[in-house]
Amino acid sequence: MTLFSEINEQPERVAALLAAQQKNVGKIAAEINKRKIEYVFLAARGTSDNAGRYANYLLGAMNGLPLALATPSLFTYYNRPPKLKNALVVGVSQSGASPDIVAVLEEGKRQGCPTLSITNESNSPLAQASDFVLDIQAGNEKAVAATKTYTTELMTIAMLSAALSGNKKQWSELKQVAGWMKSVLKHHDFISQAVQRYRYIDQAVVLGRGFNYATAFEWALKLKELSYIIAEPYSSADFAHGPIALVESGYPVFAVAPKGKVFNSMLQMLQRLKNEISAELVVISNEKRALSLAQIPLPIPADVPEWLSPLVSILPAQLFAYHLTLAKGYDTEKPRTIHKVTKTT
């Protein structure tokens, strides 16, 4: 199994996850709703940390739950954990093996908080430290670069949000995700040719906002770990406060700008980059105004709702990083220096 096959496996995996875990998610959500939960305290690293960024927006927007991203070193090296009263403590980790993430959940349990793990290893140390376990059921992910574990983490978080809110419309939209993913994967040949334009770049900026702030970070991470590009992710709002000075004519800017609440903000930034600076734009969107500004437009289906767009928009980003790595002559299966499981303390 290769990275490419795992990218293409994602529609099947999210569909199977939805079918298998809906009842379990509902039971866990019902237990959580019985508690006096005032906020979510979430610990993760790497790609799973980007899933946490999605949870930050989703649980806030859809469930009215503030989310704090943990600083695990406070629980390990500093031994000064914060007070977690009335928190749901969540650990997100594909391996469930990072001691610092486990330490956060163990402390949450010590303080009397309900704990939830979202992991691909239901017998891992993280799962064992949790009151509730959501198995993302991604199957064996052999490629070093995480793809299907990321999207199944996102799907699990989206299912939890829908279960907590009891919104039936959300469940009907979740059932469409696999189909939207399949349609995006059909752009494989176009992307494989388009990336040739960028085979000599060594740096780029990646922009996203709102729910797709997470997508910007995950796209940038894949570019870094696979093609060794210095790819810096930003919110378009933060980017306007200084970092835009990086960009000159021809500078590559990759952006995720689907329809939704933050679209006009993203569009204004893309127009400025295109018309005032002549930046080189690659744009993932389902809005023609954004796609028309790009040297390389990467469309997603028009009917994808904003809250689920990160599950779909990351697929063209993954394909882009994969094919750019090949164009640069690097091995997609063996990124230098890094390993599949990193056990931070």
Total of domains in the chain? 2
* Predicted structure pTM score: 0.96
For residue 340, being part of any structural domain is answered with no
Q: Tell me: do 28 and 70 sit in the same domain.
A: yes
Q: Which domain holds residue 169?
A: 3-175
For residue 301, being part of any structural domain is answered with yes
Phi-psi region of 250 (alpha: psi -120 to 50; beta: other; left: phi over 0): left
Per-residue pLDDT of the chain (345 residues; tens, 9 = 90+): 699 999 999 999 999 999 999 999 999 999 999 998 999 999 999 999 999 999 999 999 999 999 999 999 999 999 999 999 999 999 999 999 999 999 999 999 999 999 999 999 999 999 999 999 999 999 999 999 999 999 999 999 999 999 999 999 999 999 999 999 999 999 999 999 999 999 999 999 999 999 999 999 999 999 999 999 999 999 999 999 999 999 999 999 999 999 999 999 999 999 999 999 999 999 999 999 999 999 999 999 999 999 999 999 999 999 999 999 999 999 999 898 777 566 676
- What pLDDT, on a 0 to 100 scale, did the predictor assign at position 338? 74
State the DSSP H helix or E strand holding residue 142, giving kind and residue range, or none if neither: none
Q: Tell me: do 170 and 186 sit in the same domain.
A: no
Q: Tell me: do 82 and 137 sit in the same domain.
A: yes
Name every residue whose Cβ is closer than 8 Å to that of residue 64 and which is 6 or more positions away in sequence.
none
- Greatest alpha-carbon span in the chain: 56
Backbone dihedral angles phi then psi of residue 198, each to the nearest 5 degrees: -115, 15
- What pLDDT, on a 0 to 100 scale, did the predictor assign at position 173? 98
For residue 337, being part of any structural domain is answered with no
Q: Tell me: do 315 and 250 sit in the same domain.
A: yes
CA distance 12 to 86: 37
- What pLDDT, on a 0 to 100 scale, did the predictor assign at position 342? 67
For residue 316, being part of any structural domain is answered with yes
For residue 109, being part of any structural domain is answered with yes
Q: What number of helices (H) and strands (E) belong to the chain?
A: 14, 10
Q: Tell me: do 293 and 226 sit in the same domain.
A: yes
Q: Tell me: do 144 and 217 sit in the same domain.
A: no
Q: Tell me: do 95 and 234 sit in the same domain.
A: no
Domain final residue, candidates 134, 159, 175: 175
Q: Tell me: do 187 and 284 sit in the same domain.
A: yes
CA distance 65 to 59: 5
